[in-house]
Amino acid sequence: MKKVSLIAINARYSHTNLAVLYMREVIKDLPWNCSVLSFTINTPFYDILEGIAEDDPDVIAISCYIWNAELTKLLLPELKKICPKAKIIVGGPEVSYNFQQWLNQFPAIDYIVVGAGEKSFRELLKNDLSYPDKVVNLGAYKFKEIPFPYEEQDFEYSKNKILYYESSRGCPFTCTFCLSSRDDQKLDYRSIEDVKKELEEICSHKPNLIKFVDRSFNAKPKIAREIWRVIMELNTETRFHFELHPLLLQEEDFELLAQAPEGIFQFEIGIQTLNEKSQEVIRRKNHWQRMRPNIERLIGLCNIHIHVDFIAGLPYEDWNSTRDSFNGIYELQAEIMQFGFLKVIPGTPMYYQIEQLELEFIESAPYQILKTNSLNFQELKMLREMEVSLNALYNSEQFHVTEKALVMLHKLPFDAYYALAMFGRDHKHLDAKGFAKIAQWVMHYIEMKFPEKIGYFVDALRWDWAKLFKSRSWPNYLKDDHFGSLKAAEKKLRDLLSLNQLHLPADAMRTGMVFKAFDPDFKIKQHQDYYFFFDYDGKRAVIGLSENEETQAPAVEFIHPHKGNVISQEENRTNYILPSKC
């Protein structure tokens, strides 16, 4: 029996390739022995060649995407040397829309499969590769006719990886920078019965994360709700990731999602830009005045992890409007603010408008923008450096108090991240990874730019450290002997509590830690100072210190951790020992 090797080269080890699994399943009844070989773009080049050669295939079929295109180009000339009798088939979005260029550059390619490849790939192998043309485009099966891509062994191999799944293909929107906006990418759905059965099968293997690759999952809200209900009824600890269009959310969606277990869903929302001229050119009107309340309402549910996307380098988005878009999207306070850059991908409508729009971009994948009609290369470089500071401080989700404090020192969020990035570039901090290195970057910046605030920022970092690591053992760069005694602050607070005959619950007092810092969430001006109590169960109380107007003696009050108002000591202690989320 002849053998076909399906080659998946993923961006990361944690990723899986859905396309090659579909190909394997659609030829299952044919007289071909099929194997799936998975690598990453970081796999040593020789190891990939060695792995393919050891499989000794008659056909090598490579799934080609933006992240592995350049590596695939390096592989192609070598494959005929190590497997001289093997036929080479290449498919995927990277070769579907500029196939002639690939054929001209790489004579080793025997066939290119265009578009959704299941039907074309099956017909090629069914006819023993006797197709008369090198370009094979036989259209697509109905999505509901394509078999479930996963087999039992896939789940074992994919433990601790992201499992990809799709309930629909195509997209109803026409964003010019996206391949899904093409006329040949029409919406096509799997049956809800199959989706339910397949999700039950996947979840029985307890993956950590299932990522739906549907381009606009809630394009048909009724179907989206049915799938969310199915997932909620599975009673699983698996998390599910979806890309949503917020304008399509309906009242029924909010009512249903409010009942979802905390953390089971994470939503990615593509805002891209607030610049109306840019929206018009890329054919993506987001109607911000309608979109924003829907996103804020999702965030306000407090049970869903929200990602929002911003694309820098879109046509007509200049420096000032980039700043405005960034600030408007930042104000949403989603868990993740993904700061990406325009990619001018072959086959997209934008690719055919590059002269009109005055776009310059890297000619090889990933085709990232270099210059636009509104931003020059140097400005884009500074924005790329700013992306580093945003990812380090905001998107790491480790610096909640510190991040807010930093932003409050500047006029606008954009200004804070830009200033931190430029400082990081000049002082070699942009490669900082991990809490310690990023904290030292922030401390260096504050020491140099706002030295009077260093004690406050050290306390803010202590708060973030304790919340993240649940530890009372400070690292050296946050020790008391460097930045003032935290023990003295704790003693002062305990004395004041005793003087005012106030107390925290004894069990919490034993296990917690007191912080002397100002939480940027609170804007109470009448208190001279603030102390934070950290409890390892993720709860906190806020104590505000002030002077008694008559005696000038220090007084202590409990501040509601969320509302910011003073609460009386007679109130139940659960009013001031509350979970910190939302």
**Per-run averaged pLDDT (10 residues), the chain, 582 residues:** 95 91 96 95 96 96 96 96 95 93 95 94 94 93 95 85 94 91 86 95 93 95 96 93 96 97 96 96 92 96 96 97 97 96 95 95 95 97 98 95 89 97 97 96 95 81 79 73 54 62 46 41 43 45 51 50 46 38 40
Cα–Cα distance measured from residue 521 to residue 546, given in angstroms and rounded to the nearest whole number: 19
Q: What is the CA radius of gyration of the chain?
A: 28
Instruction: Give CA separation, 321 vs 249, 315, 374, in Å.
Output: 27, 11, 10
Q: For the structural domain made of 2-141, what CATH number should be given?
A: 3.40.50.280
Closest C-alpha to 5, from 36, 51, 44, 41:
36
3-state class (DSSP) for residue 44: coil
Closest C-alpha to 243, from 301, 291, 306, 176:
306
Which helix (DSSP H) or strand (DSSP E) does residue 207 occupy?
none
Match 């296990």 to its residue by tokens.
511
205, 157 Cβ separation under 8 angstroms: no
The 10s digit of each residue's pLDDT in 101-142 is 999 999 999 999 998 999 999 999 999 999 999 999 999 999
Closest C-alpha to 162, from 205, 210, 202, 212:
210
| Edge-to-edge strand list for the sheet holding 59-63 | 32-40, 2-10, 59-63, 87-91, 111-113, 135-136
pTM of the model: 0.85
Cα–Cα distance measured from residue 74 to residue 421, given in angstroms and rounded to the nearest whole number: 35
Which helix (DSSP H) or strand (DSSP E) does residue 483 occupy?
helix 480-483
Give residue 497's pLDDT.
60
214, 168 Cβ separation under 8 angstroms: yes
The 10s digit of each residue's pLDDT in 324-368 is 999 999 999 999 999 999 999 999 999 999 999 999 999 999 999
35, 151 Cβ separation under 8 angstroms: no
- CB burial of residue 217 (10 Å; 0-12, 13-18, 19+): buried
Which helix (DSSP H) or strand (DSSP E) does residue 428 occupy?
none
For domain 146-363, which architecture applies?
Answer: Alpha-Beta Horseshoe (3.80)
Cα–Cα distance measured from residue 252 to residue 237, given in angstroms and rounded to the nearest whole number: 24
55, 37 Cβ separation under 8 angstroms: yes
- HEC letters along 297-331: HHHHCCCEEEEEEEEECCCCCCHHHHHHHHHHHHC
Cα–Cα distance measured from residue 350 to residue 284, given in angstroms and rounded to the nearest whole number: 13
How do the domains of the chain map onto residue ranges? 2-141, 146-363, 376-468, 486-579
269, 308 Cβ separation under 8 angstroms: yes
